[in-house]
């Protein structure tokens, strides 16, 4: 065994490689940047309407006493299409959803809504991701629960899936307390 020590060298080198890339792989795992804004009030902002049919969105709209879901999305983002039906379900269950369209164009937004349904009561156009970054969202789609006083109570990162719907409705109820 010992005479053939060099036969083990490839394996040792390979284990070193695996250890290295595993550490590298752990790193992107924390790409889910959790917002530091949870529990804090929404920053002041006022966004112009993204499409003429719906009003725009400002921080004042989030302080009307009724909890809301604030959905950060873009017509160019694939997971947003996947989550569209679940937003519809949320709407059907009485959730009020406001949208922030990231770096988007009115005609694209209109096309998206025509194809995937429109769960929103307001859509603000965030052309430079300014509001997105202000509230600590690092990607699309993300959905925030904002209580009636404009305080962010919960952040959902990634697309809303069927299994998240009851949980988000519950968070809305909690925010209403």
Interface residues with other proteins (CB under 8 A) are 1, 3-4, 6-11, 14-15, 17-18, 20-25, 27-29, 31, 33, 36, 74, 76-78, 81, 85, 103, 105, 108, 115, 128-130, 133-134, 136, 138-140
Q: How far is the CB of 128 from other proteins (least distance, A)?
A: 5
Cβ proximity to other proteins, 81 vs 157, nearer residue = 81
Using alpha carbons, list the distances in angstroms from residue 102 to 30, 76, 124, 127, 145.
22, 9, 9, 6, 18
How far is it, in rounded angstroms, from Cα 34 to Cα 57? 23
Cβ proximity to other proteins, 4 vs 177, nearer residue = 4
Cβ proximity to other proteins, 111 vs 170, nearer residue = 111
Q: How far is the CB of 92 from other proteins (least distance, A)?
A: 14
Cβ proximity to other proteins, 128 vs 176, nearer residue = 128
How far is it, in rounded angstroms, from Cα 62 to Cα 68? 7
Q: Tell me the sheet residues that pair with 69.
A: 97, 145
Q: How far is the CB of 72 from other proteins (least distance, A)?
A: 13
Compute and round to an integer the Cα radius of gyration of the chain: 21
9: part of which helix (H) or strand (E)?
helix 9-29
């Amino acid at each position: 065994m010992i005479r053939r020590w060099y036969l083990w060298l490839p394996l040792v080198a390979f284990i070193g490689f695996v250890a290295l890339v595993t550490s590298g792989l752990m790193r992107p795992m924390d790409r889910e940047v959790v917002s530091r804004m949870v529990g804090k009030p929404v920053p002041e902002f006022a966004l112009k309407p993204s499409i003429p049919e719906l009003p725009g969105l400002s921080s004042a709209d989030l302080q009307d006493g009724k909890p809301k879901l604030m959905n950060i999305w873009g017509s160019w983002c694939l997971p947003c299409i996947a989550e569209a039906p679940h937003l519809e379900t949320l709407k059907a269950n009485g959730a009020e959803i406001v949208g922030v369209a990231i770096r988007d164009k009115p005609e694209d937004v209109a096309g998206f809504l025509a194809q995937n349904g429109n769960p929103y009561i307001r859509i603000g156009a965030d052309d430079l991701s300014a509001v997105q970054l202000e509230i600590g969202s690092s990607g699309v789609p993300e959905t925030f629960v904002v209580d009636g006083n404009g305080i962010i109570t919960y952040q959902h990162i990634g697309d809303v899936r069927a299994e998240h719907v009851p949980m988000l409705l519950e968070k809305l109820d909690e925010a209403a307390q």
